[in-house]
Chain A
């Protein structure tokens, strides 16, 4: 079984401040981890993924995420938030070696960047 927890339903941050959106996961074995962003009434857009190697992953629009195996976390970060970053963010996990390509998503975190 695999699962994802996004402990914060909403995160508020001031424009220009650093932002963090938290994600913890549970899989038996090693994970593939993904972050997606969703703007209102739109589909999800892929931001970044962790497959193997460097624990710090850089992605689109200045976002990065740090994989921490001991804490089973994959928090999304950005050094300086923009108002346009306001959206719904989803973390997802898939177990390495799983027979299917099925992704398990968290429930999402709504990010609001305040001007």
Chain B
């Protein structure tokens, strides 16, 4: 988990509220990613950013938004439009380049009731 911090570890929200998950990295990586993990479904990509001020939708972007104003930060907002937001959210980063592995943060478990 070293080098990537996600806060908070546990987050509780009421339905209808937007919530922002923090992700910071001190690895000087160009690329950053957000994944959602649900039991038995593996990891699904929400958004990714290969450079500052640019990001692309992943496979399940609906109901989520991101920004990448600084190289070290890639916050994820879970909006009220996300139908089923309760999940484990993982942030990752990598050196720019397709052959490089991704490094993951410790995750944030979001519960919406």
Chain A residues near B (Cβ < 8 Å): 9, 32, 34, 36, 41-46, 49, 51, 90, 94, 96-98, 100-103, 105-108
CB-CB contacts of B28-70 with A at 8 A, as 1s and 0s?
A: 0001000000001111010010100000101000000000000
A101 interface neighbour in B6, B31, B43, B106, Cβ under 8 Å: B31
B56 touches A100 (CB 8 A): yes
Interface size class, chain B: 20 to 34
28 A-B residue pairings within 8 Å (CB atoms): A9-B40, A32-B99, A36-B104, A41-B88, A41-B107, A42-B106, A43-B4, A43-B104, A43-B107, A44-B104, A45-B1, A45-B104, A46-B102, A51-B99, A90-B42, A90-B43, A96-B98, A100-B48, A100-B50, A100-B56, A101-B94, A101-B97, A101-B98, A101-B100, A105-B43, A106-B42, A107-B40, A107-B41
A102 touches B48 (CB 8 A): yes
B42 interface neighbour in A46, A96, A98, A107, Cβ under 8 Å: A107
